[in-house]
Amino acid sequence: MGVLDFVKPGVVTGDDVTKVLNYAKENGFAIPAVNCVSSSSINACLEAAKKVNSPIIIQFSNGGAAYMAGKGLDNKDQKAAVLGAVAGANHVHSLAEAYGVVALVHTDHCAKKLLPWLSGCLEFGENFYKKTGKPLFSSHMIDLSEEPHEENVKICKEFLVRMEKMKVTLEMEIGITGGEEDGVDNTKVDNKKLYSQPEDIELVWENLSSVSKRFTIAAAFGNVHGVYKPGNVRLRPDLLGDFQKHIKEKFRLSSDKPVTFVFHGGSGSDSKDIETAIKNGVVKMNIDTDTQWAYWDRLRCYYEENKDFLQSQIGNPKGDDKPNKAYYDPRKWLRECEEGMIARIEVAYKHLNCVNRN
Ligand SMILES: [Zn+2]
């Protein structure tokens, strides 16, 4: 039994997204959600997913989406970020099935000032839905964790109403995840705010479940975006278990894990904490910092190993007239980057207990 018993390879959308996430929750694994900025990183994700025989979540941050469109394109009114996310999503739609991979396409952190980006993506999604009968994106994230809770939930609810018409899943964040993400700096916030309260999750559940069952929550349990010196904040994935219990009792639900959680800022977490998070209903973990490093690190090694062949177009230790094209061809060194990224994604799959889940 695996994911391919109930969904087909390709981009999964609508009810299939819920099925895949629930299957992960029931079977004790989480799916890596990898931030992509180019066709090179998207292909690395697809290749990694194919290698481990498990689903993948390919996601675009606002900056990553704009980069996807090209730095030369004006991003006025989020135009480049919208088009880049759409281009990235289309790239996955074109290739995932051929790879035999179950892929979810997602847009990452969208703060209040970036909401026009989400609206733009939804507009493309709605047109795509009209034409094809299926959504362009599997899910979108709204991050209003910096706003007052009531406003956060109210805006999320409004967007969820719009998204429910296409059966698109919403990921929302409540409570502050420390660290820095796309220019939002939370490195100095009060430690108390780094832990969500049961009442926060209740507020989200009460409001969003009246609109749709298609939502996931990034709760704060001491997690930090990016890699920082450990020690300042303690990770408390056990809190997620308390939240589940609270929601189950408060709303008299039969499931022990009614809430579907996602894990932000998981870079550098130890495996015990990841295990506890998954046990308590985490089905998605964001991976960005570590794959960025892996992509770069492999290039660094490649350069060090082949330095003498990378100083000029012609001329190396084998002769002054010997060409170096085979070394500086982007397909050569970008491939190295991809292989580094693939290897790191495979590590993430193992941490998330997500190997051979198809
Ligand atoms: Zn976050």
Instruction: Report d(CA 278, CA 240) in Å as an integer.
Output: 9
Res 229: pLDDT: 53
pLDDT by residue (tens digit) across 74-102? 999 999 999 999 999 999 999 999 999 99
Query: Average model confidence (pLDDT) for the chain?
Result: 94
| Distance from residue 311's CA to the centre of ligand 1 (Å) | 42
CATH of region 3-289+341-351, choose from 3.20.20.70, 3.40.190.10, 3.10.290.10, 3.60.90.10:
3.20.20.70
CA distances from 153 to 34, 60, 282, 293, 322 (A): 26, 23, 20, 34, 64
Paired tokens of 267: 């870079």
Res 222: pLDDT: 85
What's the pLDDT band for 182 if we cut at 50, 70, 90? Answer: low
The single residue of 15, 16, 74, 108 carrying the catalytic annotation is 108
| Distance from residue 173's CA to the centre of ligand 1 (Å) | 6
Please give the biggest Cα pair distance in the chain: 78
- The stretch 275-295 carries a mean pLDDT of 97
Give this prediction's pTM: 0.94
| Distance from residue 121's CA to the centre of ligand 1 (Å) | 19
- The stretch 28-45 carries a mean pLDDT of 98
Determine whether 273 is an active site residue. no
**Of 26, 8, 100, 28, nearest in space to 354 by CA:** 28
Question: Picking from 64-78, 218-232, 328-342, 343-357, which range would have the lowest pLDDT averaged per residue?
Answer: 218-232
CA distances from 238 to 60, 113, 313 (A): 29, 32, 57
Paired tokens of 131: 């034409």
DSSP 194: G
Domain boundaries, the chain: 3-289+341-351
For residues 314 and 62, the answer to whether their CB atoms sit within 8 Å is: no
For residues 170 and 159, the answer to whether their CB atoms sit within 8 Å is: yes
| Distance from residue 109's CA to the centre of ligand 1 (Å) | 6
Residue bearing the bigger pLDDT, 242 or 177: 242
| Distance from residue 312's CA to the centre of ligand 1 (Å) | 44
pLDDT surpassing 90 at residue 205: yes
CA distances from 236 to 239, 242, 301, 323, 330 (A): 6, 11, 36, 56, 43
Q: What angle do CA 287, 22, 199 make, to 5 degrees?
A: 80
pLDDT by residue (tens digit) across 286-316? 999 999 999 999 999 999 999 999 999 999 9
pLDDT by residue (tens digit) across 119-174? 999 999 999 999 999 999 999 999 999 999 999 999 999 999 999 999 999 999 99
Q: What is the residue-wise DSSP string for 19-43? A: HHHHHHHHHT--EEEEE--SHHHHH
| Distance from residue 189's CA to the centre of ligand 1 (Å) | 14
What Rg do the C-alpha atoms of the chain give, in angstroms? 21
Res 84: pLDDT: 98
Residue bearing the bigger pLDDT, 208 or 267: 208
